[in-house]
Amino acid sequence: MSKLLSILVAAVFAVSTGSVFAAAHMKAAPAGEKKEEMKKEMKAEMKKDEKAAKKEVKADKKAAKKEVKADTKAAKKEVKEEKKEAAKK
C-alpha cells in the first residue's frame, strides 16, 4: 500500500511538473504583439469592407444614371409623339 501511495504521489508530481515546464517553454507571443496583429487584421478587414461599400455605391449610382437616361429617353419619345399628333390636327 505504501508503494502504491508513493507511486501515485510521484505520478502527480511528475504530471504537474511536466505541465509547468511545458508552459514555461512555450513560444507564446507577448500580449502586445497579439494586440498589434489583431489591429492589423481589423484594419485590413475594414479596408475590404470600405472597398466593397464603395463598389456597391458606384454600382448603385451607375444603375440610377441608366434609369434616369431611360426615363429621359422615354419622355422625349412621348413629347415627339405628342408633337406629331398635334401637327396632324
3-state helix, strand, coil in the chain (%, to 5): 90, 0, 10
Report whether pLDDT(29) > 60.
Answer: no
Residue range 31-63, pLDDT digits in tens: 667 788 888 899 999 999 999 999 999 999 999
What is the residue range of 65's domain?
2-88
> What are the strands, taking DSSP E only, across the chain?
none
At 15 the pLDDT is 82
Residue 30 DSSP class: P
The whole-number pLDDT of residue 39 equals 87
Q: Provide the percentage of residues in the chain whose pLDDT is more than 90.
A: 42
The phi, psi pair for 30, rounded to 5°, reads: -60, 160
What's the structural domain count of the chain?
1
pTM: 0.45
